[in-house]
Amino acid sequence: MGLIVQKFGGTSVGSTEKIRNAAERVIAEREAGHDVVVVVSAMGKSTDVLVDLAKELTDDPSKREMDMLLATGEQVTISLLAMALQARGYDAISFTGWQAGMKTEHVHGNARIVDIDESRIKEALSAGKVVVVAGFQGIADDLHITTLGRGGSDTTAVALAAALKADKCDIYTDVPGVFTTDPRYVSSARKLAGISYDEMLELANLGAGVLHPRAVEFAKNYQVPLEVRSSIENESGTLIEEESSMEQNLVVRGIAFEDQITRVTVCGLSSGLTTLSTIFTTLAKQNINVDIIIQSATSTNQTSISFSVKTDDLSKTVEVLEEYKGALGYEQIETESKLAKVSIVGSGMVSNPGVAAEMFAVLAQKDIQVKMVSTSEIKVSTVVGRDDMVKAVEALHDAFDLSKVSAAAHS
């Protein structure tokens, strides 16, 4: 007998019928003799609905009250799932994040888990109950309710699995696993039988919304065996583990993408030694997250610096740059929005030179202009026009043979 943590995302609990279906998945594990902790998200799109309600009242809602509001979504699901289990004759109890001992830092909207007091969950499990926990929420030291960032229920599940030393953490969702790219955009996307923690972490950070990046971080740090699988079909999903041996030696294992990227160029800066540090220290102090950075000398004493930000952060970025124009000493700012980031990821790249070159060649062949580039050992990211995003992903998916992946079933 083992302990299994299951997590059901929004669409998988989007109606009472789906909640019943989730309950059956829980029951199947109970019947197999396992203890079960279930983490659930808010029903369907209800978190978005709550966000819209707040926006109807104010453009700038208090972050504390947003957390208070959004935490209600998951609370609806936990009670309904516990009821569905009880109606089937299984003992179940629901816990909010704080009841489940989910302690976070005091940051609203994107809090990190700092500790889990799992005693209450353990007590309920020993009493033979299924424990249903609200994902995405926690409590800070000073008793404020916090949330973990959009998509954060995955992180609740994996963190609980790590704390409880669960045998397995199953993420049930609306796709049957992790695909070579988002199957909603690319019809030739293929399910992967397995993927390594490092590759999955890159994909998640680069926009593959199937898993919350911090969930993958937890899984890697605590070696939690993780599986992403369908809440509808009864088929095996994708195993995320240390180094994946499943696929044929693919150099590129997946493609991630995100739109809403803007490039900001600060022109006419002096090419002094401290220019770079001054500009990025200023932005960091104002909490602006900068992604790709390119510096280019334009003439002997001048340089220009381009960097990418999320389009949502553009107005704040420009505001900060203008406010500090005197100290930064630049001539002008140029911005280009409607951009997207397309990234290829695969641990095989480490030992295969020429992957970036091949990526650029494929994009050039499709007449897609690359505006920015960044690389790491296992990824190459390019910034392209938003209108070229899906075309770029499809071309790369084809060129790197991802349409040929066959997800051999694992046991």
Annotated binding residues for substrate, written as ranges, equal 47, 74
Determine the residue type at 272. Answer: G
Q: Contact between 14 and ligand ASP (CB under 6 A)?
A: no
Stretch that binds Mg ion, among 3-11, 24-32, 253-261, 396-404 (CB under 5 A): 3-11
Kindly tell me which of 173 and 304 has the beta carbon lying closer to ligand ADP: 173
Distance in angstroms (rounded) separating the CA atoms of residues 13 and 23: 10
The pattern of x and - marking residues 32 through 71 that bind ligand ASP according to CB under 6 A reads ---------xx----x------------------------
Give the shortest CB-48-to-ligand ASP separation in angstroms.
7
Kindly tell me which of 68 and 251 has the beta carbon lying closer to ligand ASP: 68
Can you state the angle between helices 197-205 and 213-221, rounded to 10 degrees? 160
The option from ligand ASP, Mg ion, ligand ADP, none interacting with 261 (CB < 5 to 8 A, set by class) reads none
Distance in angstroms (rounded) separating the CA atoms of residues 200 and 206: 10
Kindly tell me which of 210 and 372 has the beta carbon lying closer to ligand ADP: 210
Stretch that binds ligand ASP, among 84-92, 144-152, 231-239, 345-353 (CB under 6 A): 144-152
CA dist 274 to 151, 269, 391, Å? 38, 11, 40
Total of chain residues touching ligand ADP, rule CB under 6 A: 19
**What is the C-alpha radius of gyration for the chain, rounded to an integer number of angstroms?**
23
Instruction: Find all residues with CB under 8 Å of 395, minimum gap 6, and list them.
Output: 362, 363, 365, 366, 368
Report H helices in 262-366.
275-285, 314-323, 325-328, 355-365
Give which of 266, 264, 260, 256 is closest to 310, Cα–Cα: 260
Distance in angstroms (rounded) separating the CA atoms of residues 374 and 156: 31
Q: Contact between 151 and Mg ion (CB under 5 A)?
A: yes
Kindly tell me which of 173 and 244 has the beta carbon lying closer to ligand ADP: 173
The pattern of x and - marking residues 117 through 136 that bind ligand ASP according to CB under 6 A reads ------------------xx
Give the shortest CB-12-to-Mg ion separation in angstroms.
10
Quick one: which of 11, 94, 156, 306 contacts ligand ADP (CB under 6 A)? 11
Residue that has been written with the tokens 């959009």 in this structure: 150
Give the shortest CB-394-to-ligand ADP separation in angstroms.
14
Kindly tell me which of 158 and 206 has the beta carbon lying closer to ligand ASP: 158
Determine the residue type at 245. Answer: S
Q: Contact between 209 and ligand ADP (CB under 6 A)?
A: yes
**Footprint on residues 68-97 left by ligand ASP (CB under 6 A):** 73
Q: Contact between 207 and Mg ion (CB under 5 A)?
A: no
Quick one: which of 206, 210, 215, 288 contacts ligand ADP (CB under 6 A)? 210
Residue pair 125/2 in contact by the 8 Å Cβ criterion: no
Q: Contact between 138 and ligand ASP (CB under 6 A)?
A: no
Strands 332-345 and 372-376, how do they pair? unpaired
* Per-residue buried b or exposed e for 286-304, using 16+ beta carbons within 10 Å of the residue's own CB: eebebbbebeeeeeeeebb
Distance of CA 326 to the CA centre of its chain: 38
- In eight-state DSSP terms, residue 191 is B
Interface with ligand ASP by CB under 6 A: which residues? 9-10, 41-42, 47, 73, 135-136, 150-153
Interface with Mg ion by CB under 5 A: which residues? 9, 151
Interface with ligand ADP by CB under 6 A: which residues? 9-12, 41, 151, 173-175, 178-179, 181-184, 208-210, 254
